[in-house]
């Protein structure tokens, strides 16, 4: 009998929704199928407005967006099930990350808010849904992020070599996997992944991202500018730490320099280099023994970014695909895995990563209603 879960992920890039159907039979991790749905411009704009530190948005609009995303997530799951010809009753649970509208782990009453109502997902799919993964870790005094390192450890740790996993989404995060299982795994957000490059090309050329880093490559890296940006306190702060697009934003760029007085492509090249160097500096500082770097997340498709990362590191830099998981699937698969942890009463956070005082079982459980569902006696 397979042991099937669905992971739903929608990251800070606001590009779209990833849904991974995963089989955990015999404690293996095997992708069965995958579905991707781009987010409409309408939703992207609404989320961007919601995410502003001083957003002027009504509770009605906020609540409606929460419900609307719940419908959208459910629809992606139902499309995935139709495609694979799987009945909902064969799926133990959905792990839904939700869409982050605000991540504020460092304020007096810290919080991280993901929306996409799991009640709607459970009702429209009939499948038990686990959601709201981050807030329990924050309640335990953690950052609530990153949460993928426990999954990275489960699938990529290797007794023969020190590895480092780099997930380049809107924000970039690393997981340091020592070859000795007894040594602590560490992980944290290094800072911007694609987000600054995405913001700049959107502003300058009205494109969602810099395909393969081709535009950045036509520019000239301004090293003194990168040095200036690297002085930001986030890069200097020790882990545990996490960040979001509320912080690494266009105002973040403008506070450091007058971006419009430079050639636009030179700014892009410099932001690309900043992204690469802050990832590599984090690896050099916190994982100096790394023998292999594995990359996942959409940033892997930015060939120029990858070139710059490889230039900074002496060890091989490769795709997670060579180690069993396609880089575009890893994060959604992680949320399928996290849902399984929760239903098995196992913790999902690594407290040394998030800084929580305890390992905690993450998320809320929203029971499904289909016959054969996980909530019925087996």
Q: Which residues bind ligand ADP (CB under 6 A)?
A: 11-13, 15, 169-170, 194, 198, 209-213, 297-299, 301-302, 331
Residues sharing a CB contact under 8 Å with residue 324, sequence separation 6 or more, in sequence order = 29, 155
- Cα separation, 154 vs 152, in Å, equals 5
In whole angstroms, the minimum distance from the beta carbon of 298 to ligand ADP comes to 2
Residues in the chain: 378
- Residue 319: beta bridge partners? 295
Q: Which does 194 bind (CB under 5 to 8 A by kind): Mg ion, ligand ADP, none?
A: ligand ADP
Residues lying near Mg ion in the complex (CB under 5 A) are found at 11, 13, 15
Q: Which residue is nearest to Mg ion (CB)?
A: 11
φ/ψ region of 213 (left if φ > 0, alpha if ψ in -120 to 50, else beta) reads left
H helical segments located in the chain: 41-50, 59-84, 118-125, 134-139, 149-156, 195-205, 214-218, 223-230, 233-236, 250-256, 264-286, 303-312, 330-343, 351-354
Structure tokens at 181: 């299982």
Residues sharing a CB contact under 8 Å with residue 374, sequence separation 6 or more, in sequence order = 92, 93, 128, 343, 368
Structure tokens at 129: 């849904």
Q: Which does 132 bind (CB under 5 to 8 A by kind): Mg ion, ligand ADP, none?
A: none
At 336 the three-state DSSP class reads: helix
Q: Which does 301 bind (CB under 5 to 8 A by kind): Mg ion, ligand ADP, none?
A: ligand ADP
Using the Cα atoms of residue 194, residue 199, residue 204 and residue 206 in order, give the sign of their dihedral. positive
CA 331 to chain centre: 6
- Cα separation, 298 vs 258, in Å, equals 28
In whole angstroms, the minimum distance from the beta carbon of 161 to ligand ADP comes to 25
Smaller CB separation from ligand ADP, 172 or 221:
172
Smaller CB separation from ligand ADP, 240 or 297:
297
Smaller CB separation from ligand ADP, 162 or 245:
245
Q: Which does 12 bind (CB under 5 to 8 A by kind): Mg ion, ligand ADP, none?
A: ligand ADP
Which whole-number Å values give the CA distances from 280 to 185, 214, 361, in the listed order?
Answer: 18, 21, 32
Q: Which does 34 bind (CB under 5 to 8 A by kind): ligand ADP, Mg ion, none?
A: none
In whole angstroms, the minimum distance from the beta carbon of 311 to ligand ADP comes to 18
In whole angstroms, the minimum distance from the beta carbon of 11 to Mg ion comes to 4
Q: Which does 28 bind (CB under 5 to 8 A by kind): Mg ion, ligand ADP, none?
A: none
Only one residue has tokens 């909530």, namely 375
Smaller CB separation from Mg ion, 137 or 331:
331
Smaller CB separation from ligand ADP, 122 or 332:
332
Q: Which does 144 bind (CB under 5 to 8 A by kind): ligand ADP, Mg ion, none?
A: none
The candidate with the shortest Cα–Cα distance to 218, out of 258, 272, 175, 181, is 272
Smaller CB separation from ligand ADP, 170 or 363:
170
Smaller CB separation from Mg ion, 3 or 75:
75
Smaller CB separation from ligand ADP, 205 or 211:
211
In whole angstroms, the minimum distance from the beta carbon of 194 to ligand ADP comes to 3
In whole angstroms, the minimum distance from the beta carbon of 198 to ligand ADP comes to 5
Q: Which does 240 bind (CB under 5 to 8 A by kind): ligand ADP, Mg ion, none?
A: none
Query: Would strands 317-319 and 292-296 be described as parallel, antiparallel, or unpaired?
Result: parallel
Q: Are 150 and 176 in contact (CB under 8 A)?
A: no
Smaller CB separation from ligand ADP, 128 or 270:
270
In whole angstroms, the minimum distance from the beta carbon of 302 to ligand ADP comes to 4
In whole angstroms, the minimum distance from the beta carbon of 117 to Mg ion comes to 20
In whole angstroms, the minimum distance from the beta carbon of 218 to ligand ADP comes to 14
Q: Which does 178 bind (CB under 5 to 8 A by kind): Mg ion, ligand ADP, none?
A: none
- Cα separation, 277 vs 322, in Å, equals 24
């Amino acid at each position: 009998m397979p042991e099937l879960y669905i992971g739903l992920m929608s990251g800070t890039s606001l590009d779209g929704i990833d849904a991974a159907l995963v089989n955990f039979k015999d404690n293996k991790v095997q992708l069965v199928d995958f579905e991707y749905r781009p987010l409409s411009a309408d939703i992207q704009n609404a989320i961007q407005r919601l995410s502003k530190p001083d957003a002027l948005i009504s509770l009605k609009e906020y609540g409606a967006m929460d419900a609307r995303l719940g419908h959208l997530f459910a629809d992606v799951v139902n499309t995935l099930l139709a495609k694979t010809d799987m009945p909902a009753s064969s799926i133990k649970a959905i792990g839904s990350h939700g869409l982050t509208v605000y991540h504020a782990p460092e304020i007096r009453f810290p919080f991280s808010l993901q929306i996409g109502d799991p009640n709607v997902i459970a009702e429209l799919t009939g499948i038990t849904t686990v959601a709201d993964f981050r807030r329990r870790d924050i309640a335990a005094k953690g950052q609530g992020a990153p949460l993928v390192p426990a999954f990275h450890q489960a699938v990529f740790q290797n007794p023969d070599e020190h590895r480092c996993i780099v997930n380049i989404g809107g924000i970039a995060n690393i997981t340091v996997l020592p070859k000795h299982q007894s040594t602590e795994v560490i992980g944290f957000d290094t800072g911007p992944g694609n987000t600054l490059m995405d913001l700049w090309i959107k502003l300058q050329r009205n494109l969602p991202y810099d395909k393969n880093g081709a535009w950045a490559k036509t520019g000239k890296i301004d090293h003194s500018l990168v040095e200036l940006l690297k002085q930001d306190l986030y890069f200097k702060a020790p882990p545990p730490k996490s960040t979001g697009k509320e912080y690494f934003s266009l105002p973040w760029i403008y506070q450091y320099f007058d971006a419009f007085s430079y050639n636009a492509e030179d700014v892009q090249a410099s932001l690309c280099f900043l992204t690469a160097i802050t990832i590599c500096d984090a690896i050099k500082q916190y994982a100096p023994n790394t023998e292999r770097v594995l990359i996942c997340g959409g940033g892997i498709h930015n060939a120029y970014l990858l070139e710059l990362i490889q230039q900074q590191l002496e060890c091989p830099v490769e795709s997670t695909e060579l180690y069993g998981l396609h880089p575009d699937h890893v994060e959604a698969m992680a949320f399928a895995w996290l849902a399984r942890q929760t239903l098995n009463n196992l913790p999902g956070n690594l407290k040394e990563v998030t800084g929580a005082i305890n390992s905690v079982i993450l998320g809320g459980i929203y029971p499904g209603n289909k016959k054969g569902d996980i909530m019925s006696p087996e």
